[in-house]
Structure 1
Amino acid sequence: MAPHDPVDTFAVSSGPPDPDGRDDRFASARPAEPTIKGFTPWQLAASAVGLAFLAVSMWAILTALDEPGIGVLFLLPTLACAGATYAVSVRRRLRDGVIADLAESLAQHLGVPDASYLDIDARQWQGGWIGVPHVLNIQYPTEVDDSAPDWPGGVAEAVHQQLEHQYTIGRHNVRGHRVTLRDPTRTGGALTPEPSARVDRARDAARRALPDKVARPVPTQADLTSWLVPLGIDGTGTRVGWNLAAPQGHLLVLGRSGAGKRVLLTGIVVEAAARGWPVWIIDQRRVDLLGVRDWPNVQIVASTLDDQIVVLNQAWREMEGRVALIESGSSRSELEPLVVVIHHFREFATAVADAANRAGQGTAAASLAHDRVTDLLRHGRQVNVYVVLSMQRADDPLLRQENRDDIGAVVALGRLDSSVASVLWGSDRPTEPAEPVPGRATMQSGDAKPVLIQCYWTPDPREARRVNDEQDLYLLDALRPSVVTHPVLHVQRSRALADSPEASWRVNLNADLAEGYGAGTSGLADWSRARTSGGGSSAAASTQVETSGWSEMVMVSQLQAGSLARLDDETGWVIIEQVEPIQNDGTKLLIRWRGNDGAGSQVVSRTRAVRIRHLTDGIY
């Protein structure tokens, strides 16, 4: 069953869908703590009554003392003060009623259970007996998805419909979950359109406000429980992202070479892996996403065409298997998200068609990639299988109307031809194209209007290690998952690929994915340092190790003496001899090791994830 639909465009669910149709995002949320706004209406009314009683009492006492004139002089101003205080209490009560009605309206707009989950601080009331607030500070729960580019505008529109006064966005504090509305107009009715010159200035200011580079922020604990994958920021600094729980959950990334597709995909993979989701990657360019091959929870990066065919076919089988589980009575909420990244789909589909033609297969086999991806787009979201498609052009035959409707978010990097932009955005085509800045893109989420964003920059792990960039390595260490939930996979075939294209095609269609590293992985450059051949000293010979068996990712703090581990590309596979804490620094450990090229030591963060191997005979 599909997840609970959001209340409106601006309140999209960011948590796992509930199979029973209930929105349980707020199960752990607490009602908002009200802002202290001075005396309550009841306290003001009580003060007015107290002043009146004091005035009458003093008048009676002074009259009994034969001072009626002084009693009257004290009585009249005190009663006037009491009356003014009571009037203020009445007006405060009426204003509180206005804000209470506004809170109820916003609660429905944002999809929160009731108004108690919102705190609205109204200040600087002006105009008439009750008036309208000049400033509105709206505090909302963290469970509300505020990632849509026009989310603050939707809040302002909802307030306008309730109060019949227009507000502008003063500030949207995404981290603090607070939006400030300012400067209401003093005329009722529909929103007053802004002059074109002001719109142009605002658009230019937003474009200039976008930085040329924004490093990917480290996910918080709340981020890791959300199904919203952040992609970048817009001109106001508001975070925008890909919401897997949206009615259309797939993501499309468009852009020419050099526009930033690889960097964006690396960030998406890192974010998905940090949430503990398995990630399968088809990299038609072979080396673009090689840097995340050893990233925790990235189960496989298929770089050869034969492996790519197997991974795509297995993803389709996984989807069909999940559908069978749902049919047998399982709940969709029990199925964790599987993210399938297909980099340069058109090149991949063309290569698959060429391979099918060489194998003497029919038209159906030639369209294997197109058909499998189409099925994943149509039915994958219903069983939490999500596709990230990377393409160079928006006029690809795959993106005909019915498939385009299955894609929830589109990120177009760089400039697009006017004809292509018209096909992609339709009547919502942005008036200002993205600038030729790496990572600058136009993004559309759901039915919202396209908005100009700057995508987050994520370092390539392989390149960062190669150049030993300390800043990039520090960021990657903070982004690396501390818990590995999914093992590495390899392609397992019933027999070796043959010289005959037809036989190889059939072998690939019947192949599976199995845990661990297969025999074909022995040629990887990452493992070459652990396999030295030929002569050498007796000390070096004593540390020669065979890396067959299965592996897993653990934190450095879990290493023990005798563990066979791969600390980095430079040391390769080594035997851990000693693990010592660093004095006065509880965040790092000193690792002493011995490998094929000698012995050494290294200071490593306790929470860094490294790979260890369990040999087939159980002996290190």
Structure 2
Amino acid sequence: MARHDPADTAAGEAAPESAATESRFAARPPEPTMKGFTPAALVASAVATVVLGLALWVILAVLGEPGLGVLFMLPVLGCAAWLYVVSVRRRKRDAVIDELATALADHLGVPDASYLEVDARQWQDGWVGVPHVLNVQYPTEVDDTAADWAAGMVEVVHGQLEHQYVVGRHNIRGRRLTLRDPTRASGSLAPDPAGRAERARDAVRRALPEKIDRPVPTQADLASWLIPLGVDATGTRVGWNLAGPQGHLLVLGRSGSGKRVLLTGIAVEIAARGWPVWVVDHRRVDLLGVRDWPNVQIVASTLDDQIVVLNQAWREMEGRVALVENGTSRSELEPLVVVVHHFREFAGAVADSAHRSGLGAGSASLALDRVTDLLRHGRQVNVFLVLSIQRADDPLLREENRDDLGAVVALGRLDGKAASALWGSAANADPAEHVPGRATIQTGDAPPVVVQCYWTPDPREARRGNDEQELYMLDALRPNLVTHPVLHVRRSRALTDNPEAAWRLNLDADLAEGYGPAASLADWSRARTPSPSGGTDGTDATGWSEMIMVSQVQPGNLVRLDDDTGWVVVEQVDPVENDGTSLRIHWRGNHGAGTQVVSRTRAVRIRHLNDGIY
């Protein structure tokens, strides 16, 4: 399935994009209320004041006091002159703000400057001067979720006014950005650095909660290549942009810091966009929860399967490169995300396996070589890596690899040495607190920020614990459409006890659709097993199955509600009156028909037949 990469939009598509932009901003906002007198009103006041002064002089001259009339008229005329001068300066300042609003509108992609309200205050320095405070009100359609969004606005203002500003406040809900002149901040201009850092950390502690549930993606989110990771202290969403110049993601953190939860959420977000996800889970059980998730094609838990999946990802990249060389556009290549959990342990295990097989150094470095190639070239053909490691001194963070990472997530606290290795200086980011999911994130070239990563429940644990709240949340996050089938490792023959022969088999193996001829015990929830009684309509019931919640069951599904009814065809699904937690299922099976009231969050198995009926 082709996917469009916003980074590769052709220049010839500018006109359609402009029309699309106009359609997104359907309603023009009302004209903003002018703060203070307009230049025209000031000129009118000056003219009225002049008329008043002349009238006073005429009246006093008629009364025989022309000298007194001049005495009254001169201050009035001075006031009129002052009003005119102010109107001229106000007109010049309005022109400056109009040019700034036009530049900001171009930067934000809004149709024109009338969609923005720019409020400039506390003008100083010179005849026209520059404002001390700028408030920018922008439409709700503007995407302000990028970590460097506010910094980009600051750069535009700096380039237009040739004056330095910093972000004073970003009100996400109110869609209002406040910029301030840092040289005129209230209070001491040189506060104590240690006290300032401590106050910043205290502000982060107060602003960030200890747990934020992953939000359900909107239609705009599903069309975006930005994968949300968490929220910073200002309430701004921080995400990983696959369309950025560097497309890969690195997650760093000790055990218990929240790597598993974050990787689960990333897999869920990717799958929701209809993109395929391959998982190499070297810990074997950390990411089993997404094994049943739609569009997660494979979760490799054995070392042999993990080698095959990584090698196949490298082959996929090479095949896509050949397609591009033959004229295929990158925008036609669907994103493929490969998650490698605990990469360093995995690479060490691969090296040990190669040594036991009697192979040389080239085979021992297979994992590192494949990952390095994917980091360097995968982004150009929409193959993206998500790597997790435990230590900040990992060789993977060497400069040549660090430049290929579009986002780095450091979960938990980092010492000065580790922070220097990641950000270039230990002072570039305040350390994250000892809170699961609390992380320091750097995206692109933006400065690192402290965020609270989104929490996503483990689907496997939620089903086992029958936690209704977590099951409801997973139900909302589950993709509505399965676009990619399950994959299994296919070898030319069974693995042997000969280490060298097994190694060769793994390098020659590939990935095929389905569950394979022999599903292991770990595949209990997705085993490919034929129904002993066949289908309800006489068709072959072999195929692949998956676990879903009852709320996702639709008429026509072949479902197993319980052991008593067996496999049945759902004919109708109705809500239960005065009970929002249950559904009434009307079904038909080999032994008749019936009705059953089932909890909406209960997990049941449905079967997809090979003949394409289901």
Structure 1 pair 97–468 and aligned structure 2 pair: CA distance change class (3 A): same
Structure 1 pair 211–580 and aligned structure 2 pair: CA distance change class (3 A): closer
Deviation at 1:561, TM superposition (A): 5.2
How many aligned residue pairs are there? 591
Give the equivalent residue in structure 2 for 1:327.
Answer: 325
**Inter-partner Cα distance in structure 1 for 2:571 and 2:437:** 44
- Please, what TM-score do these two structures have when normalized by structure 1? 0.79
Give the equivalent residue in structure 2 for 1:236.
Answer: 234
Deviation at 1:293, TM superposition (A): 1.1
Structure 1 pair 485–50 and aligned structure 2 pair: CA distance change class (3 A): farther
Q: Does 1:525 align with 2:519?
A: no
**Inter-partner Cα distance in structure 1 for 2:35 and 2:552:** 54
CA contact (8 A) 2:515 2:527 kept: no
Structure 1 pair 419–594 and aligned structure 2 pair: CA distance change class (3 A): farther
Deviation at 1:35, TM superposition (A): 2.9
Trace 1:6-25 onto structure 2 (pairs within 5 A).
16-18=6-8, 20=10
Q: Does 1:29 align with 2:21?
A: yes
**Inter-partner Cα distance in structure 2 for 1:238 and 1:155:** 14
**Inter-partner Cα distance in structure 1 for 2:473 and 2:212:** 13
Structure 1 pair 133–404 and aligned structure 2 pair: CA distance change class (3 A): closer
Q: Give 3-state SS (helix, strand or coil) of 1:257's partner.
A: coil
Give the equivalent residue in structure 2 for 1:103.
Answer: 101
Give the equivalent residue in structure 1 for 2:598.
Answer: 602
Give the equivalent residue in structure 1 for 2:387.
Answer: 389
Give the equivalent residue in structure 2 for 1:3.
Answer: none
Deviation at 1:363, TM superposition (A): 2.1
CA contact (8 A) 1:516 1:551 kept: no
Give the equivalent residue in structure 1 for 2:584.
Answer: 590
- Shifted more, 139-148 versus 346-355: the winner is 139-148
- Please, what TM-score do these two structures have when normalized by structure 2? 0.80
**Inter-partner Cα distance in structure 1 for 2:194 and 2:354:** 57
Structure 1 pair 183–380 and aligned structure 2 pair: CA distance change class (3 A): closer
- The amino acid across from 2:21 in the alignment is A
**Inter-partner Cα distance in structure 1 for 2:114 and 2:301:** 49
Q: Does 1:212 align with 2:202?
A: no
Give the equivalent residue in structure 1 for 2:411.
Answer: 413
Q: Deviations over 1:139-193 (max 9, x none)?
A: 4575556522x64355346535654666553421335543123577559xxx966
Deviation at 1:268, TM superposition (A): 0.9
Give the equivalent residue in structure 1 for 2:478.
Answer: 480
CA contact (8 A) 2:39 2:90 kept: no
- Shifted more, 373-382 versus 83-92: the winner is 83-92
Between the aligned residues of both structures, percent identity stands at 62
- The amino acid across from 2:607 in the alignment is R
**Inter-partner Cα distance in structure 2 for 1:615 and 1:186:** 70
Q: Does 1:399 align with 2:397?
A: yes
Structure 1 pair 147–175 and aligned structure 2 pair: CA distance change class (3 A): farther
CA contact (8 A) 2:459 2:474 kept: yes
Q: Which consecutive residues of structure 2, in runs of 5 or more, have no partner in the other structure? A: none
- The amino acid across from 1:147 in the alignment is A
Q: Deviations over 1:552-589 (max 9, x none)?
A: 89997885655323679999966435433556899985
Give the equivalent residue in structure 1 for 2:503.
Answer: 505
CA contact (8 A) 1:561 1:577 kept: yes
Give the equivalent residue in structure 2 for 1:448.
Answer: 446
Give the equivalent residue in structure 2 for 1:435.
Answer: 433
**Inter-partner Cα distance in structure 2 for 1:257 and 1:568:** 39
- The amino acid across from 1:16 in the alignment is P
CA contact (8 A) 2:262 2:456 kept: yes
- Shifted more, 594-603 versus 483-492: the winner is 594-603
Q: Does 1:178 align with 2:168?
A: no
Q: Deviations over 1:404-462 (max 9, x none)?
A: 21112111112334433332332355464322221122222222332222211111111
Give the equivalent residue in structure 2 for 1:199.
Answer: 196
Deviation at 1:301, TM superposition (A): 1.0
- The amino acid across from 1:362 in the alignment is G
Structure 1 pair 350–503 and aligned structure 2 pair: CA distance change class (3 A): same
Q: 2:543 aligns with which of 528, 546, 549?
A: 549
**Inter-partner Cα distance in structure 2 for 1:571 and 1:310:** 40
Structure 1 pair 39–487 and aligned structure 2 pair: CA distance change class (3 A): farther
After superposition, the CA RMSD in angstroms is 4.7
- Shifted more, 295-304 versus 171-180: the winner is 171-180
CA contact (8 A) 2:429 2:450 kept: no
Q: Give 3-state SS (helix, strand or coil) of 1:207's partner.
A: helix
Deviation at 1:219, TM superposition (A): 2.0
Q: Give 3-state SS (helix, strand or coil) of 2:153's partner.
A: helix
**Inter-partner Cα distance in structure 1 for 2:520 and 2:480:** 27
Q: Deviations over 1:31-77 (max 9, x none)?
A: 77453436995863896699699989x99xx99xx9999xx99x999
Trace 1:312-351 onto structure 2 (pairs within 5 A).
312-351=310-349
**Inter-partner Cα distance in structure 2 for 1:157 and 1:15:** 25
Q: Give 3-state SS (helix, strand or coil) of 2:262's partner.
A: helix
CA contact (8 A) 1:590 1:604 kept: no
Deviation at 1:221, TM superposition (A): 2.2
**Inter-partner Cα distance in structure 2 for 1:572 and 1:376:** 46
Give the equivalent residue in structure 2 for 1:305.
Answer: 303
- The amino acid across from 2:473 in the alignment is L
Q: Which consecutive residues of structure 1, in runs of 5 or more, have no partner in the other structure? A: 1-13
- Shifted more, 273-282 versus 110-119: the winner is 110-119
CA contact (8 A) 2:292 2:525 kept: no
**Inter-partner Cα distance in structure 1 for 2:499 and 2:134:** 68
Give the equivalent residue in structure 2 for 1:9.
Answer: none
- Shifted more, 510-519 versus 546-555: the winner is 546-555
Q: Deviations over 1:337-394 (max 9, x none)?
A: 1111000111111222222233333322221111111110010001111100011112
Structure 1 pair 527–227 and aligned structure 2 pair: CA distance change class (3 A): closer
CA contact (8 A) 1:227 1:245 kept: yes
CA contact (8 A) 1:413 1:439 kept: yes
Give the equivalent residue in structure 1 for 2:113.
Answer: 116
- Shifted more, 548-557 versus 383-392: the winner is 548-557
Q: Does 1:615 align with 2:599?
A: no
Structure 1 pair 132–20 and aligned structure 2 pair: CA distance change class (3 A): closer
Deviation at 1:248, TM superposition (A): 1.1
Give the equivalent residue in structure 2 for 1:425.
Answer: 423
Trace 1:65-104 onto structure 2 (pairs within 5 A).
89-104=87-102
Deviation at 1:265, TM superposition (A): 0.5
Structure 1 pair 591–170 and aligned structure 2 pair: CA distance change class (3 A): farther
**Inter-partner Cα distance in structure 1 for 2:513 and 2:120:** 60
